Amino acid sequence: MDAGVPLKANIAGIAMGLASDNEGNYKILTDLQDLEDGKGGMDFKVAGSRKGITAIQLDTKTKGLSNEIVKETLERAKIARIQILDKMETVIKEPKELSEFAPRITSMKINPEKIRLVIGSGGKMINEIIDTCGVEIDIDDDGLVMITAPKPEGAKKAQEWIENLTHDVDPGEKYKGKVTRIMDFGAFVEILPGKEGMVHISKLSSERVERVEDVCNVGDELDVEVEEIDDQGRINLKVQGIESRPRPSFSGPRRGVERDRPRGGARPGGSRDRAPRR
C-alpha cells in the first residue's frame, strides 16, 4: 500500500493452533507461538480481507481434524483477522500514488492466433513497438502479454498498438487512415498501426477516376470504410460516402497500359504517312 501497489484491499493473516488430549477435549489457540506450534496439534494459517479468505495453509500432527474444529478455527480466525485489519487501516486504508519513477507492468490478453501479428516477420513488429514506446514486452504462448515500462505513457501507447494489431476489423467500420502506397489499380491505406487495406480506384470517388494520383497521394489522410474482408483476410476499403458498386471487369490491358498509349486516336508507331524513325 505504501509503495503504491494498486491492491484492491488490505489483507491480514493469522496463525491458529490446537491443544487437545486423548479424551477429545480441545482448545483453539489464536496467534500461535513457536512453543505452541511445536507441541500443539496444528498450525492453521488463514489470510484474507474483510470480504473473505484469500489463502489457507494447514499443518497438523493429529490423525485429522473434525468439522467442528475446522469451523470454530475459521470463525475465530475471522474475528482476529478483522481486528488486525482495523489496526492496519488506522495507518493506511488505500494505496498511495505510485512514484513516477517506479516501473509499471501492464498485462493484457490477446488471441494466441494473433501473436504472429504482434511479433511480425523476424520480430520486426515487436521490436518496432519496443523501440518506439521504450518498453519491454513478454508474450506467453497462451496470449498473455506483459508490458514493462518506466513511464505510463509508454505502456499505454504499446498497449493500444497491440490492441490495434490484434483487433478484428469488421465490414462497416470507419477509419481515418494514411495512404502508404499508390498502385495503378488503387491506394493502400493504413487504418491501424501495421494493418493496411486497399481502396480500389473505382472506390475513390463517385466520379470516374483516371489516375489514383488525381484523388490522393502517399501521406494523404483518407476517411475510409471497410467494405469487405476477402477469404484471404485482405481488407477492401472504400472512401466514406461512396456507394458500393461492383468493380469494373477488364478483359483487355490493365489501366496502366491503356494510360501510356498516345491520346487522340493515334496508334503507337505513328501514322502510316510518316517517314520511319531512324
Calpha distance 131→138 (Å, rounded): 14
Cβ–Cβ < 8 Å for 211, 200: no
CATH number at residue 226: 2.40.50.140
Residue length, the chain? 278
Give the residues across from 182 on adjacent strands. 187
Looking at the domain assignment, is residue 278 inside a domain? no
Domain enclosing residue 194, as ranges:
174-253
Q: What percent of the chain has pLDDT over 90?
A: 58
Q: Are 108 and 155 in the same domain?
A: yes
Q: Domain check: are 113 and 71 in the same one? A: no
- The residue assigned the cell 496467534 is 31
Looking at the structure, tell me whether residues 191 and 162 fall in a common domain.
no
In a domain, residue 148? The reply is: yes
Give the integer Cα–Cα distance in Å for 233 and 197.
Answer: 10
Higher-confidence position of 146 and 24: 146
pLDDT of residue 244: 53
Neighbours of 186 (CB within 10 A): 22
CATH code where residue 26 lies: 3.30.230.70
In CATH, what number is assigned to the domain containing residue 123?
Answer: 3.30.1370.10
Reported as a single tens digit per residue, the pLDDT across 234-278 is 899 999 887 655 555 444 444 444 434 443 444 444 444 444 444
CA distance 145 to 167: 15
Indicate the Cα dihedral angle 106, 110, 112, 117, nearest 10°.
-90
- 34 and 64 in a common domain: yes
The rounded mean pLDDT for the chain is: 85
Q: What is the pLDDT of residue 271?
A: 42
**pLDDT exceeds cutoff 50 at 14:** yes
Task: Convert 16-35 to b/e letters by CB count within 10 Å (16 or more is b).
Answer: bbbebeeeeebebbeebeee
Top-confidence residue, 5 or 112: 112
How large is the greatest C-alpha to C-alpha distance in the chain, in angstroms?
A: 129
What's the CA gap between 267 and 261, in Å, rounded?
8
Please give the helix or strand (H or E) that residue 165 lies within, else none.
helix 152-166
